[in-house]
Amino acid sequence: MYLPIGSYSYDIMFILSSLIIKTYFRKFKAALYAHVLALRNLDKSDIVCSCIAFVELLKIDSNNLRLHITVAKYVQEQLNISIGNLVYITYMTF
């Protein structure tokens, strides 16, 4: 890889910052997959709990996932609407 500036410290900082950004996006993508998996399997509490634990292991806040699970269960129980297909459509557009 050719970098326009010949300073070694600049080169090292450039490489480290690009690795940090790649790592962050990998963590975010893994958390997003866990989010979708949990919402697709609302009736299986062991899968939902495992997804929450996985997101927390990634050191990402799981409050959004917990809120989405609570709302999805409420919608499913009170309105008899399954959100499985909606989850697929919503997250595949990102």
Distance from C-alpha of 54 to C-alpha of 25, rounded to nearest angstrom: 16
pLDDT, tens only, 18-65: 777 777 888 899 999 999 999 988 889 999 999 999 999 999 999 999
Domain boundaries, the chain: 8-92
User: For the whole model, what pTM was predicted?
Assistant: 0.71
Contact at 8 Å (CB) between 81 and 48? no
pLDDT given for residue 93 in this prediction: 46
pLDDT given for residue 62 in this prediction: 92
Angle at 81 between CA 44 and CA 32, to 5 degrees: 55
Higher pLDDT, 73 or 80: 73
Q: Decide if pLDDT at 71 tops 60.
A: yes
Angle at 86 between CA 83 and CA 92, to 5 degrees: 140
Higher pLDDT, 52 or 82: 52
| Average pLDDT score over the chain | 80
pLDDT given for residue 5 in this prediction: 55
